Chain A
Amino acid sequence: MQSYVHVILAGLSSGMFIWLVASGLTLIFGVLGVLNFAHGSFYMLGAYCSFTVLKHLGAGYWTGLLLGPLAVCAAGFVVERFFLRHVYRIALPYQLLLTFAFVLIFDNLVKIVWGGGALSPPSLSFLGGSVPILGRNFPVYNLFIIAVGPAVALLLWALLEKTWYGRIIRASSSDREMAASLGVRVPALFTAVFVFGTWLGALGGGLAVPYVGLLTPGMGETIIIEAFIVAVIGGLGSLKGAFVGALVIGVLSAFGTRFFPAFDMALTFILMGGVLLWRPQGLFGATR
């Protein structure tokens, strides 16, 4: 019993990490219609920038978490404003490859700036340690992450459903031309959404710093595949779907690692294949 509870908790925390990354990805896809391969790179950059602020500027963890992702937003702005904007209307392979080119560029830049080896972040004083749950210790930081995930989900929901900006975003995503003719500055709005999505990914990276233990230049490539899977299972563009998908994938792979270590990754893909055979548009995707 207690081992199940711990596996579920571990699954929830890893699922919430995937959600943090997948939320930005899903938001960008839902509004701009672009599947952003470079989102994993923003996650990685978020982690490295937070780490640098934390370590070299001598700032506290929270300052690093605040400033690091903000720095990454600049990268997101450049990518959208000067490159992605020009390929919205052309064939899908080019959009995907444009973002893939940025994966190559960012991975390499990280190697140049921070070196190719792994960096290990300092341990946390605040939120460090662990608490006993059902007779076994569980890291406090992971509990914190389990709380952050739903908070971000709530924030996004409130932003999109309850505010004026949210209404404009939803209107522009469902009909660009109509929104533009009603006076919405769609290009600027798209840039803003992209930068916000970038921030979400980078925030996931910043939060991951104490969690992953090691920062490596390839860390974005693993998480982006997981985020893609979550986005597909949930239904591309559906934030609710991404949230549910991340929870399911997180818990499932935690059970996989615990009980079928040889299949830990394959289990995820089997789930994805099954969901898509049953519901091609994903759990919460709109029927096309």
Chain B
Amino acid sequence: MKARTRNAVAAAAVLLALCAVPFLAGKFAIYLTMRIMLLGIFAVGYNLLLGQTGLLSFGHGAFYAAGAYGMGLFGVHVSTHPLLGVAAGIVAAVLLALLVGYLCVRHTEIYFAMLTLACGMMVFSLVWNAREITGGDDGLIGILRAPVSLFGGIKMPIGKDEQFYFFVLFFFALSVWAVHRIRQSPFGLALAGIRENARRSEFAGVPVRRYRLAVFVLSGAFAGLAGSLEALLESNARPFMAHWTHSAEPVLVSLLGGLSSLAGPLVGSAIYIAMREIIQRFTENWMLGFGIVLLVIIMGFRGGVTGTLSALFRKAAAPGEG
């Protein structure tokens, strides 16, 4: 009970701090915080698959791109209403994830990783080649940030970054809360059971393959949400969103922050974006710097930042048990 209160207090504090950002920080910090929240949505949803179920997908960039292109195409051809656009992005990602997931969840481990990688690259090449629809390598440009109109009368503009920030924050908070609830639910616990021992779960009556497909589609939906928000933020959708190097981002972020907790991918997202900015400010060689940081984590701190910190706290709280 105590830990639960502590977590609730921490979450409330973070939410308050995030609400304060647009009033206190400069334009660039607002933009960076939005990027962190977008990656955060992508990563917490993804971590349901990797951290909770133990499935390593290297193709989630495809669903991110489906969200972005779904939003973009819907905005260009149907309606510029942002909420409907986000819904269209999520629907596109879910449909794609159903198709890819159906093919991929029959495998596990390395085959699953390779299959998702291949499917993701297939989406990348289709987006790249279907010039008439997607704009090819130029990307889909001119995605508008029209005001959000609610209940006919109220109109909320999201054109400026300080306004759009709260749009992103709303979906970010919603996503984190939703993932938290999913992790605690019987479904989430069954996923953890599949991770620990798939065969035993099967014997216990859990329809393993169907659950894997369900969590795959669910994580795809979060990727689609993040993608559609990025399309609004940058007012474009690019084929590289589907590229495998982008699919690796939620994996990196989860490992960076810690696989086993909800806070892990979020902390990881913040560190990843901040580190990228800092390294890029001093040197062009951010890939080298990040690669070295990654090596250090894998060789020495496999719990990620949150895992390492909580191990330290445990040691401090109970000395001599180590």
Contacts and interface: CB of A to CB of B under 8 A. Distances in A.
B225 interface: no
B251 interface: yes
A262 B129 contact: yes
Given A86-B299, A93-B251, 9 more contacts: A83-B295, A98-B295, A101-B291, A104-B290, A225-B118, A232-B111, A265-B129, A266-B129, A269-B121
A194 interface: no
A130 B252 CA distance: 47
Interface in A98-153: 98, 100-105, 107-109, 111-112
B106 interface: yes
Interface string B94-110: 00000000010011011
Nearest to A276: B115
Identify whether the interface residues of B are mostly helix, strand, loop, or mixed: helix
Contacts of B119: 269, 273
Interface of B: 50, 56, 103, 106-107, 109-111, 113-115, 117-119, 121-122, 125-126, 128-130, 244-245, 248, 251-252, 255, 285, 287-288, 290-292, 294-295, 298-299, 302
A191 to B, nearest CB: 17
A96 B113 contact: yes
Contact of B103 (A35, A108, A225, A277): A277
Contacts, number: 112
Given A263-B129, A272-B118, A280-B111, A101 B56 contact: no
Interface of A: 35, 83, 86-87, 90, 92-94, 96-98, 100-105, 107-109, 111-112, 221, 225, 228-229, 232, 236, 262-266, 269-270, 272-273, 276-277, 280
B105 to A, nearest CB: 12
Contacts of B287: 104-105, 107-108
Nearest to B100: A273
Identify whether the interface residues of A are mostly helix, strand, loop, or mixed: helix
A104 B252 CA distance: 12
Contacts of B118: 225, 228-229, 232, 269, 272-273
B197 to A, nearest CB: 15
A236 B109 CA distance: 12
B288 A105 contact: yes
B251 to A, nearest CB: 7
* 3 pairs of A and B residues whose beta carbons are closest in the complex: A104-B291, A265-B125, A269-B122
B10 to A, nearest CB: 27
Contacts of A108: 285, 287-288, 291
